Amino acid sequence: MTDTLAPRRRPTIRDVAQHADVNASTVSRALNPDTRHLLGEEVVKRVLESARHLGYRPNKAAAALRGGRSHLIGMLLPDITNPVFPPIVRGLEEELRGHGFSVMVASSGGNSAEQDQLLERMMGSMVDGLVIATASRQDYLVQRCLQENMPAVLVNRGEDARHVPEVVNDDFLSMKLAVDHLLALGHACIAHLSGPARLATGAGRSLGFRLAMEAADAEGIELACAEFTREAGALACAALLDRHAGITAIVAANDLIALGCYDTLKARGLRCPQDISIIGHNDMPLVDMLDPPLTTLRIQHLEMGRQAARLLLNHLQNPGTTPVRITLAPQLMARGSTAPPARRHNPATG
């Protein structure tokens, strides 16, 4: 004879109410961070202890059907392996957790069809809103969110029309800090390896570089990378050096592109910073451990996540408000990859 275990019945809100010796509506208020302040501290503590003891978990789908909120927020990332995004997610989660919201994260790989599928799944999971880090300058997902009346906030990348709230870095200031740093070191032949122009971060940093060079009455060189990747950076750096032999400094649109520059310089027997200085953008983890440590622009990614959460919470509470853009200031982290220009080293002669 084989014993079979009967499935354990899921505790209900009434079970918690009976265990805590309160009514079911009191349990609902105590479990909701937005309403527990209406109850006494001792009652809230007793309800929470009873819920933990019984293993009670709220049914978010049922709660959403009853009250119109699932307290679940969706977040779309272009590449979950990119170290830029974890601090944004952490800031978002930390801020939302205090308001009783959880975050569902998905990576789309930048594919529009996959993004559309993920949006459908998240709406099927009854998310209350979306934080989108995949936006292009004319973004299809933003249009879908507007059509579906889905609250959305953009983070890290904005869109041209500014249909929804967004939190971005001040890319113009980033480029001014980078250019001013190199000019102060004595560089006159400065190049920018820009990101894809279809993305606000690519277009914004490109324009910021040109404006910074014009303000200094200097002429810069620009070459666009196909993507914000190390591989694209290496290819673009090689093309840049082939076309412009006199370059003494490169401003890369992000740290991954800067890593690609390191690869190309090493392959050609050139030294950083003795032959060419390099500046990145983002201050990813461990770039200070490179040889040489990377000079870069530190972006406030953790604060980006926090501000995105606040914008979305405000959007949920006040759906008719005009979308705003929050721009965060970067910080130049001067390290070993930048130095005054020197006579170009010739690998053939040592």
DSSP 242-258: HH-TT--EEEESSHHHH
Candidates 3.30.450.40, 3.10.180.10, 3.30.70.260, 3.40.50.2300; CATH matching 171-295:
3.40.50.2300
Q: How far is CA 312 from the centre of its chain?
A: 15
Neighbours of 171 (CB within 10 A): 25
Q: In sequence order, what are the residues at sequence separation of 6 or more whose Cβ sits closer than 8 angstroms to the Cβ of residue 1?
A: none
Q: What is the pLDDT of residue 175?
A: 97
Candidates 3.30.1330.60, 3.40.50.2300, 3.10.20.600, 3.40.50.9100; CATH matching 69-164+300-329:
3.40.50.2300
Return the CATH number of the domain spanning residue range 13-58: 1.10.260
Amino acid at 161: A
- CA-to-CA dists, residue 156 to 214, 233, 250, 261, 303, angstroms: 26, 20, 23, 23, 11
Q: What is the pLDDT of residue 33?
A: 73
- Residue 198, phi then psi, degrees to nearest 5: -70, -15
- Delimiting residues of CATH 3.40.50.2300 domain(s) in the chain: 69-164+300-329, 171-295
Neighbours of 16 (CB within 10 A): 25
Q: What is the pLDDT of residue 339?
A: 97
Q: What is the pLDDT of residue 331?
A: 98
Q: Are strands 331-333 and 296-298 parallel, antiparallel or unpaired?
A: antiparallel
CB of 196 closer than 8 Å to CB of 225? yes
**Per-position pLDDT tens, the chain of length 350:** 444 444 456 788 888 899 999 988 888 888 877 678 888 889 989 998 998 888 887 655 555 444 557 789 999 998 888 889 999 999 999 999 999 899 999 887 666 777 778 878 887 778 999 999 999 898 888 888 888 888 999 999 999 988 999 999 999 999 999 999 999 999 999 999 999 999 999 999 999 999 999 999 998 999 999 999 999 999 999 999 999 989 999 999 999 999 999 999 999 999 999 999 999 999 999 999 999 999 999 999 999 999 999 999 999 988 888 999 999 999 999 999 999 998 654 444 44
Neighbours of 154 (CB within 10 A): 28
- Residue 39, phi then psi, degrees to nearest 5: -110, 165
- Residue 332, phi then psi, degrees to nearest 5: -75, 125
- Delimiting residues of CATH 1.10.260 domain(s) in the chain: 13-58
Q: What is the pLDDT of residue 63?
A: 53
Please tell me the distance from the alpha carbon of residue 24 to that of residue 319, in angstroms, as a whole number.
Answer: 31
